[in-house]
Chains A and B, each alone.
Chain A
Amino acid sequence: MQLRRVGPKVGSRVPALFRPHASALRQAPHEPTAEIRDRSAALAQAHALLNEALPPSGDIDDLLSRVELARGRRIRVMAIDLSRSGVSGLWAATTDADFIVVEQTAGLARREAIVCHELAHVLLDDEADVADADVLVWAEDVARQTLGTRLAARVLGRHGYEHESERQAEILGSHIALRLAEARRAPRDSVLRHLR
């Protein structure tokens, strides 16, 4: 199943020269294979969507609502006990919605980091990694039990960064979290927010 992007194609409102510094997000100088080109395109699209969807409140739930609107697919966040799974969060994509499952004991900062990581998977349209078969079997069970009869079309868990897709999702997730933190730091006064 491929997720359909229905959001408007948007570009950055500022010239590339003035975009915030994000060295970790630069692509490694590999051969430009079709896969890497697709990955680069997905990253660029994810950043464009974030530029549009980033809420002034800096609240992760507001961001999810805006991404929902832009993509035309529901995103639901659920907190369940993941302590025995070895993962701290997971993304389950069903036929009509994306479910982000978060470890229920996670505090605000960690919850945000987990949701940002899973949101990065959503935005990058990642596929489940067969190398994590044990975790995936467990996660699919949990997802099916929690989500009812709907089939979890794909499930990705947050547990280590050995795989390139996990590493990229964590980097993009960190970038999203930093953008949210920057928005929260902005002055509350509307006039000052603009002047700054």
Chain B
Amino acid sequence: MTGVLALCWIATLVRWTLTRRQAATPWRLLLSATLTFVAIAFTFTWLDARYPATTPPRIFTLLFHLCITAAALTFQLYVAMAFSWLTRARAAALAGLWALQCALLWVTWPRWTVDPGVRIDSQFLPGALTHHLIFWGYFAVSMAVGGVLAAYAAFRSRRDDALASVSLSVLTLGCGLIVAGLAARVAAARTGELDPSAVHVIALARTLDDFGVVLLATGTVSLHLLPLVRRRHMERTELRDLRPLWQHVRAAVPTVALPLSGERDQTLKLHRARIEILDGMHALSVPAGTAADPRAIAAALRQPDGGCRDDEFVPAAQLLPRGEDRAGELAVLRDMARAFSQGRP
């Protein structure tokens, strides 16, 4: 329990950090809010286990219920908003359902008697069935709907974005486990204390919940973290390849160099490296007989007279092969930069 709680809070902090660094779209805010509500809800459960109330009402349990219903609402909105059929009126209806849920939770709140020193699970209390059906049932339906939509999105994105598809699949599996746990809780509440096997069902439900929440948190974080890590890695690698040629160009053609002292944004640096090298190729000259090949041009640029203007010299840009598209252009640039750094003493 403590481990799951710690993981939930770590995942929540990572998610908010990612949300803050990237543009905070409503979807990102909603998903972060979902995870936050789950983490708070688990904190209340943890507190309830550590400091059980001796007299009703069990305030931590009540707060747990409220946070979980809020998590269900934000998760529903997050997944549903990605589909065009969710209008403002329908979003308002979902919010209304959440308010109704809170009201019903209060009305059906079981009049629990707490025997000091004895932990009585509310699942077995008489009169708790309606309450649990409303609470767990609503939550189960929310998670099931969210899980189905996430699975659909994972299926649609399996070719375009494999990483996102994997993350959404993990998210879906987490939803599935949570729904299974919730169904087990409802089943246990239905049979009540008359059936001794209900104790095992409750234990199973808790295990499913824990695994489900771990997968939900993992999928939620990895959905944004994995593409970011992959992009950062690719940018770092490309910047490392371009840096020697970039520095050479900045030194040889100061007019193309935009002052970047103290700049730490790697994406901006990479963009400047590409553009300044491309600009520099129009100012740097190579012998007219140089082959139109990135390696040959790189070798010519390394020569001491590279960069001089003369009748027998032409701008390097004239010889640089034109890529078929943007990616092709940048690939040529990278090939030339690699060849330039490989040939350096």
Contacts and interface: CB of A to CB of B under 8 A. Distances in A.
23 contacts: A14-B25, A18-B23, A19-B23, A21-B21, A23-B264, A24-B263, A107-B322, A107-B329, A109-B275, A109-B278, A109-B329, A110-B279, A113-B278, A161-B255, A171-B258, A174-B272, A178-B267, A187-B157, A187-B161, A189-B153, A192-B153, A195-B223, A196-B224
A195 B79 contact: yes
B95 interface: no
Given A18-B19, A108-B325, A109-B330, A194 B27 contact: yes
B111 interface: no
Q: Mostly helix, strand, loop or mixed at chain B's interface?
A: helix
A105 interface: yes
A177 B223 CA distance: 25
B278 A107 contact: yes
B258 A161 contact: yes
A188 interface: yes
A195 B153 contact: yes
A6 interface: no
Contacts of A159: 255
Given A14-B23, A196-B27, 20 more contacts: A15-B24, A18-B23, A19-B24, A20-B22, A22-B265, A23-B263, A23-B265, A88-B279, A88-B282, A105-B318, A107-B323, A107-B329, A113-B278, A174-B258, A174-B271, A187-B164, A194-B25, A195-B78, A195-B164, A196-B223
B326 A108 contact: yes
B186 to A, nearest CB: 29
Interface in A98-115: 103, 105, 107-110, 113
A37 interface: no
Interface string B257-268: 111100111011
Interface residues of B, number: 55
Contacts of B83: 191
A25 B300 CA distance: 36
B8 interface: no
B152 interface: yes
A56 interface: no
Interface string A151-186: 000000001111000010011001001100100010
A189 B168 CA distance: 14
Interface string A73-109: 0000000000100001000000000000001010111
A178 to B, nearest CB: 6
Contacts of B275: 109-110, 113, 174, 177
B78 to A, nearest CB: 8
A192 B268 contact: no
A112 to B, nearest CB: 8
A17 interface: yes
A196 B263 CA distance: 27
B160 interface: yes
B58 interface: no
Nearest to B27: A194
B295 interface: no
Interface string B275-314: 1001100100000000000000000000000000000000
